Structure formats: structure tokens, C-alpha cells
Chain A
Amino acid sequence: MVKYVVRRLLQSIPILFGITLLSYLLMTAAPGGPVAALAFDPRISAAERQRLEARLGVNDPWLVQYLRWLIGDDWMRRDTDGDGIADTAILIPLDANGDGVPEPPGERRGVLRGDFGISFTHRRPVLDVLFERVPATLELSISALLIGASVGITIGVLAAVRRGSIFDNLTRVLAVVFDAIPGFWLGLMLILLLGSQLGLLPMQGRCRVTMDDSCPPVYQRIEYLILPTFILSTGLIAGYSRFTRASMLDVMGEDYMRTARAKGLRERVVWFKHGARNALIPIATFLGPALTGLLGGAVITETVFSWPGVGREAIAAVSQRNYPVVMAVTVYAALATIIGYLISDILYGIIDPRIRLE
């Protein structure tokens, strides 16, 4: 097992590398840039905008920018005589803004050395910006995953054992409906109905507005989780219920189910102990895609509900062309997806002893 996990992790390195390269290329090829986003103001002179461009390094070729992000620029523009002024440069010009004065020596060490850079807009280390938002995203994602899996699997099992019943047909229709409804639309509708019109639930945010710096533990502010969790879990409930139903129907006709019944076991024991347990095996593989879907869904849900998580920051970073944050979120999402699929495979091996991970 350990050998398998290590091999899979090693295999994921080139995948991750490819994802970052492609992402950087697409990001820098997209129209618009961070300077326009940071300094779109007629009161800022053209020369000042050009200086900002040089300072951020966004006027370098995209491959140089990518290398800076990957392995830093402390080797690209260096101060060799220790006077604090850069005197040698590789790949990038010594005087990037053309004002006759060398730019400061490079300070970035690159992601391979643990430096994800400085956010263009926040002017803080990117990891600081993201780490303070990870707890909110985890809170929402874990809630949605728990609700989505437990409700979805339960509905799927019940629909299968009552195949053709009103419950089965109703849940199948609802699964399709909730799978098809865009989360942002449903979110806004629920905000208007339950938040604005009925005043039953908060419309925005994660905690109460307070004068102090406190946000109480999650169990004291469940009301803030209800709407975003519901929106984020609807797709999961739909997916899990349909997948579980199909899987349950597959195992219903198996010999061991007939044997269990022949032994005189009660139907409930047959369904849940023998049927559902085996039906869950293929469902384990759903975890990887579910995690990916959660990350994607969190971006929308966090934005609609002003939930202070990574997804909302990602949207802001994309619209502001905040390249370092966009890349960090890309790495975060890629890692989460790779790990999600790896966990799926490991679970598969644990649930089904016939499968050996080698």
C-alpha cells in the first residue's frame, strides 16, 4: 500500500507540473493585465503605469514569468558586490523600466523553494492570504460533503429497494432537477426568499457582524452554514443518490443477497448489511470527482453568499489578474484533486479486499 501511494504521488509530479505550465500560459495569454486592474486611473501617469509593470515583472515573456514563479528570480537579477544595487542580470533586463536605474535585486525564491510570491493586490505573501481563507472553505466543503454523501446515499438505497415507487420516481426527478439548476441562481433565490422575505436565515457571510474580532465556533452559528451548505450539497446529493441507486440495483440480484434472504434474515438487514455495503464499493470512486466538484462549486457558492473562503478569493484574483494568487489556487485545486482521486483508490482497496493496490 505504501509503495502504491508513493508511486502515485511521484506520478502526480509531472501532472502537477503540466497543470501549472498550462495554467500560467493561459492566464498570461488572457486579455487584460494586473497593471490595468491596479492602476486604471487617469490621474496615474503613463510612465508610472510602465514603472509598475516593470516592478511586478509582468512585461517579461510569459516563460520568464513562469520561471520566476517556479524557481524565483534571486538568480536572475543579482547584486554581486553587496552594495544593494543589482549589477548582473540573466533572462531579464537590469533596468526593466528604462529609467536608467537598475531594478532592485530579485528576492523571489519560487514555489519549488516554498515561496508562492506576493499577492499583487494584497501586497502580502500569497500563502498568508490563502491560509487565512482555507478554514472557511474547509468548513463549508466538509459540511457539504457530509450532507451530500449521507443524504444522497440514503436516498439512493431507499430508492433502489423501493424501485418504481413514488419515492423512487420523485427522487429521480428531483435529482435531475437539482443537478441541472445553476447553484448561483438557486442561491440568489433562496437568499431572497429565506433571507430577505422571510428573514429566517442570514443572507451573507460566515459570522455575525460584531464590534470585536470574534467569530464563534461553528455550532453557535449554524444558521450561516445552512444556505451555502444546501446549495453546495445539492449536486452531491443528486450525484450520490443516482450512483447509489444504480449500484444497489446491481447488487440486488447477486447470489449473496439471495443467500442472505434464504437464511431468513430480515429485509432491512439484507439491504443495508449485505446490499448497501457492497454497493458502496464503486461509490468510493466517486469521492475524487466529488472533491473536484466541491472545489468548483465552492467558488460559486462562496461568491454568492460572500463566504470568506478560497473560492471567493480565487474569483477576485482572476478578475484582478492577480497572477500569484491565481497560480496558488490552481496548485491548491490540482493537489486537492490528485489527493481526492488517490483517496478514492485507497478506499476502494480498503472496502473491497479483492482489490490489491500494488
Chain B
Amino acid sequence: MLLLTALVMPASAQETLGAGEGAPIIYPNFGGDPTTFNPLLVNDGGSSAVVARIFPAFIGIDPFTGAFVPGAAGAIASDWTISEDGRTYTFTIRDDWTWSDGTPFTSMDIKYAYDAIVSGQINTPLASAVVTVESVEAPDPKTVVITFVAPTCTAINVASSIPPIPSHVFTELFGTDYAQMNDSPWNLAPTVTADAFDFGNFRPGEQVTLVANQNYADAQLGYVVPQGWIMRMLASQTVEVEEFLAGNLTIIPSVPEDRQAELEALADAGEIQMHKGPSAGWQFLSFNLADPTNPRNGLDADGSPIDQGNHPIFGDVRVRQAFAMSIDHAALNAGAFAGTGFPVAGPILPQSWAYPDSVQPWPYDPEAAAALLDEAGWIDHDNNPATPRIAQGALYADDGTRLSFTLTTFSGNPSVDASTLIMQDQLRATGFDMQLEIIEFQAMVEKFLNQEFDAAVLFFGLDPQNPDEFTDLFTPAGDVVGAGFNVSSYNNPRATELLELARTVPDCDTEVRKAYYEEFQQIIHDDLPWFFINVSIVPSVARGDLVNFAPTEYSLYWNIDAWSYQLTR
């Protein structure tokens, strides 16, 4: 039994410990227990964090470039080739590493996973990810052949979403009756794993414990230093920081904005370690371009566009552009994001290979915004910028309509609270009257997906290295009331075409693809279905005495098996 109270010594003053001699890595989790440790069923952050420590990936990334590479640490694909027609990928499975019971990895570990995903029998979030796969075959134990419906430049991204599972165990437990997997006790007590750690135990509501796997083939030092890895269930971010400061947590992967300054001061003083990197997501504002009183899908059953009406205010792109130019990001950043954020022009983030420098965020220019509103038929009838403008010859609003709308967002997030209040104040200066509707998160999500809002603020992130994931956000295929994420009902055929073109570039020439994504980013910037409010710089912190804590821009945990510190009891 280990009482986790520690005296901290600087990392530089310590040496890396031997195999299993390091204290366990204590990792925080709040917002609910992990629900499964089965890689095929994982659908929440807590479960994902555990699964990433005990199961390998099929294809891994280089932690220093973010690119998928053959033979990456922690991945079982050692190499792959691509057929001439670009549809078939043949992967070789490495043979220098085994599951924790000594069974070698085989191609069936991928094929079984794929067959289960597409069976429709299991509660997996991965089915959508593999719709472009035509078949997965295992011609011999070390070869996986994945054939795609059509040549696609996202093939490796898609293939990487198939998680290796111990097929010898799953075949024995479930056979081809995949539905049995859904409620299997194995999901919370996996008996066979393979990564830097093995599963130890799970005390619901308290902790998940993993133990060092000294047979891990990709250990940075040839052995795993920490004795184990423990996920602690905590009540909130406030307590998380206090527990870290008390020495009861090894790291905080994402420091809350309101505590960043305090922890940065400690990092400057050398008491803790801090790593800063841009968030993989944005806080954004979706405009509803269609009639919110009668939400309809973007396409009918034949794939033809449906008339969805127009939003009286935001149906006109000039109003959306005036909105963007009314926002002073510098003031917003200082007031809501503790000065840690930056604005972006579109969904493609600076850390992405596809990021185009040429497209810049909208400038803060209230005068240009006012002129654009005048042009759009929203006039300042009383020569008082602080009162809402009214429509006079506007595209979709009756004359006399006030430039008034409701911004819907969710409660309980300090930066969202602050940013919406600051935007409300800034918009008032150009004649927008923005009413705030701050509601419980699930209630907000329902309004968001049902497209029953004027404008909505949320944040989430996708894989910055795969811009194809924006398809559901900005094409009519995702404009499905209640279920799709193109909640703005945005439809620009050229934007849709560009995503398709970038996906199907011959030989997947990066420069050609980048050019398509550059045009896509420019169109989203100009059309403004979403206004990208902010991208935060998210610091991670670790104990001051944690040796080998060396996150990269793409991976916080790439060398976690070498993390080393000692507890003083």
C-alpha cells in the first residue's frame, strides 16, 4: 500500500530509476467513471485514456511530426504498401511483440475488430469511421489487406481507427455472436492487453489501476520505469489543481484557464514542469443560416437540396461578416481566455499540415462592420450605435425588424460565460442586440442538433491532421436535423467539392491537397457559417521531479514508460 504524499525534488536533480522502480503515474479524471476498457466500444474520455495505456494502435504517429509512420512505437503495423489503383493497402504485422499472454499479434486481430465493427451488433462509435472500407482480409497471420470502396487519401486515417484486439480471446468468448460483447464482464476486466501497462483493477468511483508491463517491446529505455498508472476519479477541475499542488497527482493534462497564471508562476520558479501547446479544437459560434422555426434536412432521400428557408438575420452573409468584424479578439482573449488564446480564420488549425498561412482571421473593424450592415439593409435609424439597428430593405427580414437574436450556449464553463458576455458588449457597439440563452449542456446539445437556434456557441475538436473530418460539419450530407453536425445548414457546392477533391487526389500529392484545403479554408472564412472565436493554448503540468517528461506538439504521452519519479513516504 502506498501513501501518496511526496516531497518534490527538481527533475534535473534526479536520475531515471530502474524497471518498475518509479512511483505510479497518477492521472486525474472527472466527469464520470470510465465505462469500458474494450477498444471497440470506447466512447468517452476516461475510457479512452485507459485504453490508450493498455492497448496498442494499429498504425501509429511520429510524436515529433504528427504523421503516420510505419513501425511507430506502440503500433503493430510495421510497414504497408499501396496498390497501383490506390484502393488496396497491404499491412505487415510486426513480430517482435506479443499480447500479454505471449500470443503473437496476427492479422486476425485487425480483421476480427473490423468484422465486429461492421456487424451492426455492437455499440461501437467506430462504424462511421470505416464506411469507406470495402473489405478487410487476413490472407496470412502477418498480412492485413484493406480494400477501400474508392481511392482515398484518408485511407491511413481510416485504417488507423481500427483498434487491434486479442482475437484469440474474443473468438473464444464471443465467436461471431458479436452482440455478446456489449455486456461482457471482460470489458471492465480485460485479461489480455499489450502496451506499456497491463490492466490491474478498477474500483468504480475511485480509481483504475494499471501495472507496468516489462515485456513492452517499445519501451524507450528497454524497460518501463513507473510501477504503474493510476486514474483517480475527482470531483472537479478545482479539486484537480489542489490535489496536484498537494503532490497527489503526477500530471494535469489540461490546466483550467483560471489557474494557468498561478501554475505558470510555479513553473517559472522551477517547482513544477509546464508544457504549452495549441488546443486541437476551437470555441466557435455557429450561425443558423436557415429558418430556425422550421428546421429541415439539407437533402431529400434522392440527394436533392431541400428549401430550408432563410434566417432573417444570418441568412445574409454580409451580416455574418459584420458580426465577425465587430469582435475584438484581443479584448476577448484578455477577458475570457486569460490571454492564452488566438483567433483562427477557419477550421484548419496551425498545427495541421494543411494549414494555409494565406487565410487570416477577420480583422476587428467596427466601422467596416457598420458599413456592411448599412449595405445589407440594417440601418442605424436613430443615429445611436448602442441601440439595435432595424431592417430597411434587408434580404430576408421584414422592414422594421430589429437586429436582435438569441445566442444559445451551455452553462458551467467560465470561459464560455465570459466570452459570450464580452461579445454581447462588443456587438452592441455596432448595433447588434444579442440576448443570451445559457442552458444545461444536454439541453443545449438538443437545440444545437435540432437546429432550433439563431446562433450557438460550443467547443470541440477534431483531428487537426485530417481536414476530411470537416465533411459532416460543412456539407449537406451532415445537414440532418437532430443528428447531423452541419447545424448551420450550410451548402456551398464548391466547398463540398473541394473536400471531395482533396480526398481523391491522385497519389495523394500533399501540395495539391493543401491547395484544395487552402481554398476550402478561404471559402469557410468568407461564407462564415461558423465564426471561430478562439483556439486556446492549453498547458499541461507535471510534478517538478518527474524525469523524462518531454511532451511534443503531437503527443503528451509518447514516452510515458520512461517517466520517473520517486515518492518520499
A positions within 8 Å CB-CB of B: 30-33, 36-52, 55, 101, 104, 118, 121-125, 129, 132-133, 136, 188, 191-192, 195-196, 199, 203-215, 303-309, 312-313, 316, 319-321
Contact = CB atoms under 8 A, between A and B. Distances in A.
7 contacts: A46-B472, A50-B483, A121-B35, A207-B206, A212-B200, A316-B31, A316-B33
Highest count of chain B CB atoms <10 Å: which of A45, A52, A207? A45
B449 interface: yes
Contacts of A121: 32, 35, 44
B227 A211 contact: yes
B204 interface: yes
B18 interface: no
Contacts, number: 173
B80 to A, nearest CB: 23
A interface, over-half SS: loop
Nearest to A31: B443
Interface in B123-181: 123, 125, 127-129, 131, 179
A30 B35 CA distance: 24
Contacts of B206: 205-207, 215, 308
Nearest to A118: B183
B205 interface: yes
Contacts of B2: 208-211
B406 interface: no
A204 B209 contact: no
A44 B232 contact: no
A254 B239 CA distance: 53
B529 interface: no
Interface in B444-501: 444-447, 449, 460, 462, 469, 472-473, 478, 480, 483-485
Contacts of A129: 204
A85 B205 CA distance: 38
Could you say which interface size class chain B belongs to?
Answer: 35 or more
Contacts of A304: 235
A209 B469 CA distance: 39
A123 B35 contact: yes
Contacts of A210: 1-2, 207, 209
B447 A196 contact: no
A211 to B, nearest CB: 5
A261 B242 CA distance: 57
A121 to B, nearest CB: 5
B534 interface: no
Nearest to A48: B128
B4 A48 contact: no
Nearest to B123: A123
Contact of A32 (B31, B32, B204, B440): B440
B243 interface: yes
Interface in B229-263: 230, 232-235, 238-239, 242-243, 245-246, 248
A30 B232 CA distance: 31
Given A49-B483, A122-B35, A211-B209, A36 B446 contact: yes
A123 B248 CA distance: 31
A36 B478 contact: no
B442 A31 contact: yes
User: Which 5 interchain pairs have the tightest Cβ spacing?
Assistant: A308-B205, A32-B442, A46-B483, A31-B443, A46-B480
Contacts of A208: 1-4
Contacts of A192: 242
B203 A213 contact: yes
Nearest to A36: B445
Contacts of A125: 183
B43 A209 contact: no
